[in-house]
Structure 1
Amino acid sequence: MSDGPNRGIERRAFVKSALAIGGASALAACLDRGGGDADVPTGSPDARPERQHAWTDALARDDHGNVVEPTHRLMLLLDYEGEGAPTDSDRQQVERALSTLDRAYAWSHDGLLSTMAYSPAYFERFDASLPASVDLPAPEALASFEDPTLDAPDALLYLASDHAHVLLAAEQALTGEEDALNGVDVAASLRGVFSVTERRTGFKGDGTPADNQDADGVPTSHPVSEDAPLYMGFKSGYEKTQPPEERVTIQDGPFAGGTTQHASYMRLNLQQWYEQDDRRQRVGKMFCPYHAENDVVEGTGDNLGTDAGMDKAKPAGQAAEEDGLVGHNQKMVDVREDGRPIILRRDFDSTDGGHAGLHFVSFQRAIDDFVATREAMTGADLATDSPVGQRTNNGILQYMDVANRGNYLVPPRSERSLPTPTGDGGA
C-alpha cells in the first residue's frame, strides 16, 4: 500500500473487504493494515441501558444535530443447536458470551453497539405463546410484485461500530476463536448453543458508497458522489424524520422496554437510478416534486438541516394526480404521528454477494407499524397498470428488489439471552 493521496481510500476499501470475508485471517489482515490503530475504550455491563435499542445517546452528532450512525455493520443470523426449548445452562452461556462484549467495548459508536433479537420461529419452540403486548407475526411479502425469501433463523445479532476490526474481533470471540477481546478475557462463546447460518455486512456514512463502487449494479458511467452517505446519493435519517426511541419501545407486559425489529435486504438498481434519471428527477423521486422544481436540495441534502422539508410537499395523492410524480419522502408523511415517523430506521448499504444493496433495518413498537409504513411506500392507491403493478414515477420502488424479509423481537437487555415467551427465563 502506497503512502500517496489514495492510501486512505485503499485502506477503507480493504477494511470493507475484510469485514465482508470475515474470519481470523481477515481480522489479522485488518489489524496488520492499520485497522486496529484506534484506542477503542472498554466498557461496563452496568453502563448498558436496559433498552437494547437505546443507541441514540451513544452516537455522534453532525453540525446540525442529526445522529451519525456507526460506519460498519455486521448481522449474524443464528440457529439454536438444541432441541425444543432452550436449557438454563445454554441461557447462562449466551449471557456470559454477550456480557464479554459489554466488558470489552464501550457502549458507543467508537466501541460497540448491538441488539440480540429472536424470530417467530424461535418462539415456536415453546408451549406458551407471546403475550398480546408483543406484535410479532411471521414475515411475508408486502406487495404483489415481491417474492422475497422469508428469513426464519432463531436469532439475529446486529453489531455496529466505527471500527471494522471491532466487529471482526467480536465475531471471532462469539464463535470461540478468540480468548481475549480488547484486553478482556472471553468468559464464554456461543459455540455449542448457536451456529452462524449467515453473515450480512455493510457500511454507512459520507464517502463509504464511493469507496465501494466495485459492485454489480453500480454504473461506471455515473460514479456515486464522493460525499454521499448512501448509494442513492442522498442523506437520510434527519433528526425530524426519525421517531424518538420511546415511540418504538414496547410499553407493557413482560417485554416492556424492548421493541420489534424488521430486517430486509434489497438489491439496488443503480444503473437505472443514475443512467435513466437526471439529478432533478432523482430529487423529485426521493423527496418530492416541489424540492426538484425549486432546487431545495443541495448536494446530498445536508443543507436541509434536521428536516427533509416535507411541509412544502403536496399530499401524495394530489402530487400523483397533478404532477405525475410522487416522492418517496412525500409518501411517508401519511404515516407520521405527531409529525414524526413511527419506525426508527438503522439501515445500511452493502456489497454482499458482490451486488450493491441495502439492508433495511427498522425498529418499531409493533411489526404492524412497519407494515403500515411499507404500504405507504408501495403506494398501491397511486399505482397504474404496469408489469409490476406500480407507476414508474412512484417514488423509488422501481430501483430496488426485495430479496429477504425477517421479523424479530428485541427483548429488554435483562431478557436478551434465550428468552421464554413469558419473559421469566432470562439469565
Structure 2
Amino acid sequence: MDRPDRGISRRAFVRSAVAIGGASALSACLQREATEDVPQATLSPAELPDRQHAWDEFLATDDAGNLLPPEHHLLLGLEYVGDGPADAADEREQLEAAFRTLEKAYKRGNEGLAFTIAYSPAYFDRFDAAPAGVELPAPTALTPFEDPTLDAYDALLHLASDYGHVTLSVEEAMKGELEQLNGIDVEGTFDGVFDIADRRTGFIGRGLPADNQSGVYGIPDGNPVPEDAPMFMGFKSGFRKTQASEDRVTIQDGPFAGGTTIHLSKLQLHLGQWYDQDSRDQRVAKMFSPDHAADDLVEGAGHNLGDSSRITEVAESAAEDARNEGTVGHAQKTSRAREDGEPIILRRDFDSTDDDRAATHFLSLQRSIADFVKTREAMTGTDLTEGSVGARTNNGILQYLSVHNRANYLAPPRELRSLPAPNPA
C-alpha cells in the first residue's frame, strides 16, 4: 500500500528517484522499497530464452490474461568509447560478463528485472556495413507535421522492474559504482566500452499516472487523470488481442534470427483540451471509436473490456466515421495495420515526467522497421483526412501529442548481444 510521507506517495517518490538517478537517488529509493522482496534468478543464464525480447512468459497478468508490464522503466542511450568498429574480443567478454551478472542477480520479470540491449544504424556504420539479413534504416520523420530529433546513440539498454531501485542499481553497477547486485558479485561493467550519453525514465500501471500528474507540464491543473488509468491519457492499452505475439515480431532468417527490431519515439503530451474541453464521450470516440462512445462500451479506463478493445469490428468503418461523424478513433485507425487479422507490432510503451513534462516513450518491437512504419501510417490516417476530419483535429489523438525523438535499433539474439558484428556468420 502507498503511504503518504511529507506529502508524496511512495510510488511517486520512487518515480522521482528513478528520474533523478545517481547514488543519492538510489540510496533514497532503497529506504522506501522492500529490498528483501527482490528474488535472485531462478534460471541460470544458459536456461534463459535465446530471444532477448522474450519477456511475456515471465510477466504478470491481470484477470483477463493481459500482460502487466513492469512499473518502472529506464532507457540508457549508450555511446561506444572507441574509434572505429567495436570489434575487440575482450570488450565483448566484458559486456557479456556484465549482462550475465544481471541475469544471475535478478529473477526475470516484474518482481526482478527484464532488460534488452539493442544497437542502432550508427553503431553498424562504424563497420561500413549494415546488419546482415535485417533492414535497419536510420530514423526519419514519419509525418508531415513532425520535426523530431533523430537519435544516433550506438546502443540502447532498456531496464524494467516493479522496483525502482533495481533499475537504479543496475545503472550504478554498469558504471562501476557497485561491487554487488542483489547479493551477486558484479563481474563486468560498461567501463571503457560504453559511456551513458542519455537517460530517460518512465512508468506504467494502474494508478501510477494519477500519482505523478501534479505540477507536470502538459497536464492541466486539478489532477484530471483518473485513478484507475495506467497511462496519462486515461485509458488502458496493450489488450492481449491488440498486441502482436513475440513470435510475430521475431526475425526469422539470417545471422540475427531470434532477434527483433525496436522503434523508440518520445512523444510529448498536450492534454489541456483533452481533459478541460473534451467530454468523456469525445475522449472515448477519439481514443477508441465513435461506436465505442455511442454504445457506452468503455467503463472508466476500459478494464471492463477484458482482453480485447473490440476495435477490429469497427476498423473497416474508419473512413465512414471520418466522413459522417467528423471523428475517427486512434485505435480504430491503427487496427487497420494487420496481416492475416493479426497485429504486426508489440508495444512496450510507458509514460514519463522527465524534465517535469508529460510524455510517452513509445517503444515497439517488430520483425522489420517497415512494420512499424506501416502501423504509424495507419495511425496517422492521412488517407482519412479529406472532408470533415482535419489533418490532426478529431483525427484520433494526433492533436494531443508531438514527436520529440525517433530512433531505430536491432536487438540481437542473446548470443550476439555483446557488440555484434554486422555479419556474425
TM-score clears 0.5:
yes
TM-score calculated relative to the size of structure 2: 0.95
* C-alpha contact (below 8 Å) 2:312/2:332 kept by paired residues: no
Q: Partner of 1:365 in structure 2?
A: 367
Corresponding pairs, count: 420
Q: Partner of 1:104 in structure 2?
A: 105
CA–CA distance in structure 1, aligned partners of residues 127 and 97 of structure 2: 23
Change beyond 3 A, Cα 1:389–1:145: farther
Q: Partner of 1:322 in structure 2?
A: 324
CA–CA distance in structure 2, aligned partners of residues 266 and 285 of structure 1: 17
1:232-381 correspondence runs (5 A): 232-313=233-314, 314-381=316-383
CA–CA distance in structure 2, aligned partners of residues 4 and 184 of structure 1: 29
Query: Can you list the C-alpha shifts for 1:282-339, whole angstroms capped at 9, x where unaligned?
Result: 0000000000011010011011111111244252111111211110011012111232
CA–CA distance in structure 1, aligned partners of residues 2 and 83 of structure 2: 56
Change beyond 3 A, Cα 1:12–1:129: closer
* C-alpha contact (below 8 Å) 2:40/2:104 kept by paired residues: no
Q: Partner of 1:423 in structure 2?
A: 424
The CA deviation at 1:9 is 5.9
The CA deviation at 1:34 is 3.2
Q: Partner of 2:79 in structure 1?
A: 79
The CA deviation at 1:134 is 0.5
The CA deviation at 1:222 is 5.0
* C-alpha contact (below 8 Å) 1:35/1:165 kept by paired residues: no
- After superposition, the CA RMSD in angstroms is 1.8
CA–CA distance in structure 1, aligned partners of residues 322 and 54 of structure 2: 37
Q: Partner of 1:68 in structure 2?
A: 68
Q: Partner of 1:220 in structure 2?
A: 221
CA–CA distance in structure 2, aligned partners of residues 76 and 311 of structure 1: 36
Amino acid at match of 1:136: L
CA–CA distance in structure 2, aligned partners of residues 74 and 57 of structure 1: 21
* C-alpha contact (below 8 Å) 1:290/1:312 kept by paired residues: no
Change beyond 3 A, Cα 1:10–1:222: closer
* C-alpha contact (below 8 Å) 2:117/2:156 kept by paired residues: yes
CA–CA distance in structure 2, aligned partners of residues 355 and 89 of structure 1: 41
**Helix, strand or coil at the partner of 2:94:** helix
**Helix, strand or coil at the partner of 2:252:** coil
CA–CA distance in structure 1, aligned partners of residues 334 and 272 of structure 2: 25
Equivalent in 383, 386, 402 of residue 385 of structure 2: 383
The CA deviation at 1:49 is 0.9
Structure 2: any 5+ residue segments left out of the alignment?
none
Amino acid at match of 2:357: H
CA–CA distance in structure 2, aligned partners of residues 78 and 166 of structure 1: 19
CA–CA distance in structure 2, aligned partners of residues 315 and 418 of structure 1: 47
The CA deviation at 1:236 is 0.3
CA–CA distance in structure 2, aligned partners of residues 234 and 127 of structure 1: 44
CA–CA distance in structure 2, aligned partners of residues 197 and 5 of structure 1: 35
* C-alpha contact (below 8 Å) 1:79/1:196 kept by paired residues: yes
CA–CA distance in structure 2, aligned partners of residues 221 and 110 of structure 1: 33
CA–CA distance in structure 2, aligned partners of residues 91 and 391 of structure 1: 46
* C-alpha contact (below 8 Å) 1:42/1:182 kept by paired residues: no
CA–CA distance in structure 1, aligned partners of residues 98 and 14 of structure 2: 25
* C-alpha contact (below 8 Å) 1:15/1:35 kept by paired residues: no
* C-alpha contact (below 8 Å) 1:52/1:114 kept by paired residues: yes
* C-alpha contact (below 8 Å) 1:332/1:341 kept by paired residues: no
**Helix, strand or coil at the partner of 2:208:** coil
The CA deviation at 1:389 is 6.9
The CA deviation at 1:35 is 5.0
Percent identity among equivalent residues? 58
The CA deviation at 1:92 is 1.1
Q: Partner of 2:4 in structure 1?
A: 6
The CA deviation at 1:365 is 0.2
Query: Can you list the C-alpha shifts for 1:261-293, whole angstroms capped at 9, x where unaligned?
Result: 001100001112111201100000000000001
CA–CA distance in structure 2, aligned partners of residues 103 and 135 of structure 1: 33
TM-score calculated relative to the size of structure 1: 0.95
Q: Partner of 2:32 in structure 1?
A: 33
Amino acid at match of 1:366: S
**Helix, strand or coil at the partner of 1:248:** coil
Amino acid at match of 2:25: A
Matched, 1:410 2:411: yes
Structure 1: any 5+ residue segments left out of the alignment?
none
